């Protein structure tokens, strides 16, 4: 396996230079006179204040000031981009000063080849909100602003894009070390966890990330076709998923203590996506076959599944509407069986308590993976309209999970006061049955948000 990874990484690095004699000639030939003079530099950024609050467990989930500085430079075929963020404020009752290098990478942009190395954000897929083929980019789901893209985190990667024709490109990515998404499970009030009251007994350790070795990295490839009549892509990913579950690291009955270990899992994903214009409609679809191993022995590893999204996009009465059906089929699904108390001896009670802790932990992992049932069905609707020559923009979106009866509603109003100043106000509410993920997360993340931003 280690040799396979080394071979694939070397292919991603050297593949562009082995892409045929004509491609080699393109790389080594002198640039045209106009291209030799091409130099551009852009410096932009913004300052903003954001407050998000009103949840059951936090009056202020996030309240901070932030400054962003972005730089882009191109000279001939050299390219660099950087995005630096500095923010200070309250994050779930903790005052923090955060310095974030959002993106920073250098590269080469040619007629047939692009090559980039550094911290990058890459999003695959063509559907909105739910992208089962995108296993590249981790997310900080607990960083709350009015822009959903603010939650995306960069990965250090080597990215190569080969463009053999005007309609086809091949993207190859090597991610040498693992970066997880951010899930603040410790903020959730588990309350009654089966028969146990875990209000003060639960502890989540740091993520047990894979070791820094070649065979622990991730590799991905995407073949993308863009024509005037249809857009198609096929993709493949092998590595550790930024999205992870947890294991039960330790359990004691007296005193009651439950220690969880967030632990990533290895997977392969074979994916495809498309966008098909039909008159004034656009039909979009995305699907992914996720393959895992050892899922029967480890609660943090989901079963293999087939995830898919089918949606339509249509503009009417100046409203951009997107409707999607999101589904998942779980392979080798088996119902969990609740443990039984076999006696009232100390050993029997201890065994029952341990079995119950394992049962509840496994059930919770299934909720995280949306594998509570063999099939999972969800609906998504998004409406967007601009007023006063795009000075005012109104967004309304929502999801409803038919299987779990969880739902989310999000609204946002953006008012462009001037070309450089914008104000945002809206709300975000997740609701669901007791002990569901949306119920627990809603107690932490629900509420209204307000933001004022000045850009340059």
What does the H/E/C string look like for 206-236? CCCCCCCCHHHCEEEEEEEEECCCCEEEEEE
Which helix (H) or strand (E) segment holds residue 195: the answer is none
Rg of the chain over Cα atoms, rounded to whole angstroms, equals 24
In the structure encoding, which two tokens stand for residue 308, read together?
């898919």
63 confidence band (pLDDT: 50, 70, 90): very high
- The pLDDT of residue 37 is above 70: no
Strand partners, 416: 422
Per-residue pLDDT at 20: 44
Task: At 419, list the tokens.
Answer: 């070309």
Q: Read off the DSSP letter of residue 121.
A: -
Answer whether residue 204 shows pLDDT above 90.
no
- 7, pLDDT greater than 50: no
Mean pLDDT to the nearest integer, 253-260: 82
Sign of CA dihedral 204, 239, 334, 309: positive
Query: d(Cα 274, Cα 225) in Å, to the nearest integer?
Result: 9
Supply the DSSP string of 245-292, one letter for each residue.
EEEEEEEETTTTEEEEEEE--EEEEEEEEEEEEETTEEEEEEEEEEE-
29: pLDDT strictly greater than 50: no
Tokens 């394992």 belong to which residue?
358
Interatomic CA distance for residues 431 and 454, integer angstroms: 33
Q: How far is CA 72 from CA 15, 69, 289, in A?
A: 26, 10, 37
Comparing C-alpha atoms, which of 290, 453, 437 is closest to residue 372?
437
272 token code pair:
């495809």
Question: So what's the pLDDT on residue 434?
Answer: 87
Report residue 19: phi and psi, to 5°. Answer: -85, 25
Q: For residues 448 and 430, what is the distance between their CA atoms, to the nearest angstrom?
A: 12
Among the listed ranges 10-24, 26-40, 157-171, which one has the minimum average pLDDT value? Answer: 10-24
Beta bridge partners of 413: 394, 425
Q: What's the CA gap between 396 and 409, in Å, rounded?
A: 8
Q: 331: which DSSP letter? A: T
The proportion of the chain whose per-residue pLDDT surpasses 70, expressed as a percent, equals 89
What confidence tier does 199 reach under pLDDT thresholds 50, 70, 90?
Answer: low
Higher pLDDT pick, 321 / 8: 321
C-alpha span between 184 and 204 (Å, rounded): 9
Contacts of 213 (CB under 8 A, 6+ apart): 2
pLDDT at 27 over 50: no
| Mean pLDDT confidence for 192-212 | 75
pLDDT at 4 exceeding the cut of 50: no
Tell me the two tokens of residue 242.
């930024």
Read off the pLDDT of residues 108-160 as tens digits, 9 standing for 90 and up. 999 999 999 999 999 999 998 899 999 999 999 999 999 999 999 999 999 99
DSSP secondary structure code for residue 198 in this structure: -
pLDDT digits (tens, 9 = 90+) for 360-386: 889 999 999 999 999 999 999 999 999
Residue 443's nearest CA partner among 456, 455, 429 is 429
What is the tens place of the pLDDT at every residue in 435-453? 899 999 999 999 999 999 9
Q: 46: which residues sit within 8 A by CB, 6+ positions away?
A: 67, 68, 453, 454, 455, 456
| Mean pLDDT for the stretch of residues 229-256 | 91
Structure tokens belonging to residue 440: 């627990």
Q: Which residue is listed with tokens 């995306």?
A: 152
Residue 381 and residue 316: Cα distance in Å, rounded? 14
Split at pLDDT 50, 70, 90, the class of 345 is confident
Residue 343: pLDDT band with limits 50, 70, 90 = confident
Domain annotation for the chain: domains and CATH numbers: 2-18+38-455 (2.40.160.10)
Which is more confidently placed, 5 or 418?
418
Average pLDDT, the chain: 89
pLDDT in tens, 163-189: 999 999 999 999 999 999 999 888 887
Task: Give the tokens for residue 433.
Answer: 């049955």
Q: Residue 294, exposed/middle/buried by CB under 10 A (0-12, 13-18, 19+)?
A: exposed
340: which residues sit within 8 A by CB, 6+ positions away? 352
Question: Which residue is it, tokens 């250098």?
Answer: 106
pLDDT at 6 over 60: no
Retrieve residue 109's tokens. Answer: 């942009």
Handedness of CA 137, 141, 142, 144 (dihedral sign): positive
What's the rounded mean pLDDT across residues 352-358? 86
Which is nearest to 241 in space by CA: 179, 326, 172? 179
What tokens appear for 286 in the block? 């995305």
Is the pLDDT at 293 greater than 70, yes or no? yes
Give yes or no for residue 95 having a pLDDT over 80. Answer: yes
More confident residue, 52 or 201: 52
Q: What's the confidence (pLDDT) of residue 157? A: 97
The percent of residues in the chain predicted with pLDDT above 90, rounded, is 74
- Residue 166 DSSP SS3: coil
Report the alpha-carbon distance of residue 233 to residue 221 in Å, rounded: 10
Return the H-helix or E-strand segment holding 443.
helix 437-445
For 399-409, what is the mean pLDDT?
A: 96
Mean pLDDT of 272-285: 95
């Amino acid at each position: 396996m280690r040799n396979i990874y080394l071979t694939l990484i070397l292919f991603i690095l050297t593949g562009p230079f082995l892409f045929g004699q004509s491609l080699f000639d393109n790389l080594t030939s002198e640039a045209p006179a106009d291209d030799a003079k091409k130099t551009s530099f852009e410096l932009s950024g913004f300052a903003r204040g954001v407050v998000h609050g009103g949840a059951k467990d936090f009056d202020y989930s996030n309240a901070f000031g932030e400054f962003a500085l972005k730089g882009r430079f191109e000279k001939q075929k050299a390219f660099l981009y950087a995005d630096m963020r500095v923010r200070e404020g309250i994050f779930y009752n903790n005052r923090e000063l955060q310095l974030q290098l959002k993106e920073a990478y250098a590269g080469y942009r040619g007629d047939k080849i692009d090559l980039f190395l550094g911290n990058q954000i890459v999003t695959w897929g063509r559907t909105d909100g739910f992208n089962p083929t995108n296993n590249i980019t981790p997310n900080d789901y607990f960083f709350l602003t009015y822009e959903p893209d603010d939650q995306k985190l960069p990965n250090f990667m080597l990215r190569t894009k080969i463009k053999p024709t005007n309609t086809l490109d091949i993207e190859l990515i090597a991610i040498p070390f693992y970066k997880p998404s951010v899930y603040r499970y410790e903020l959730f009030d588990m309350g009654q966890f089966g028969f146990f009251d875990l209000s003060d007994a639960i502890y989540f350790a740091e993520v047990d990330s894979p070791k820094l070795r070649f065979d622990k990295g991730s590799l991905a490839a995407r073949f993308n076709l863009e024509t005037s009549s249809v857009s198609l892509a096929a993709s493949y990913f092998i590595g550790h998923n930024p999205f992870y579950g947890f294991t039960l690291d330790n359990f004691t009955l007296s005193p009651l203590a439950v220690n969880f270990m967030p632990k990533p899992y290895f997977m392969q994903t074979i994916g495809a996506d498309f966008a098909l214009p039909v008159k004034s409609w656009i039909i979009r679809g995305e699907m992914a076959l996720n393959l895992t191993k050892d899922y029967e022995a480890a609660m943090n590893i989901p079963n293999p599944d087939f995830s898919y999204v089918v949606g339509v996009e249509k503009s009417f009465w100046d409203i951009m509407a997107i409707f999607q059906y999101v589904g998942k089929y779980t392979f080798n699904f088996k119902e969990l069986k609740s443990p039984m108390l076999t006696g009232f001896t100390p050993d029997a009670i201890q065994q029952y308590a341990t079995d119950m802790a394992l049962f509840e932990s496994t059930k919770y992992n299934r909720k995280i993976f949306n594998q509570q049932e063999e099939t999972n069905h969800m609906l998504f609707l998004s409406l967007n309209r601009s007023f006063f020559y795009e000075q005012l923009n109104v967004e309304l979106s929502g999801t409803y999970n038919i299987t779990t009866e969880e739902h989310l509603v999000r609204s946002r109003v953006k008012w462009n006061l001037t070309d450089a100043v914008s104000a945002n106000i809206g709300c975000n509410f997740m609701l669901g049955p007791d002990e569901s993920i949306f119920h627990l997360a809603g107690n932490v993340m629900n509420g209204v948000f307000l933001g004022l931003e000045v850009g340059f």
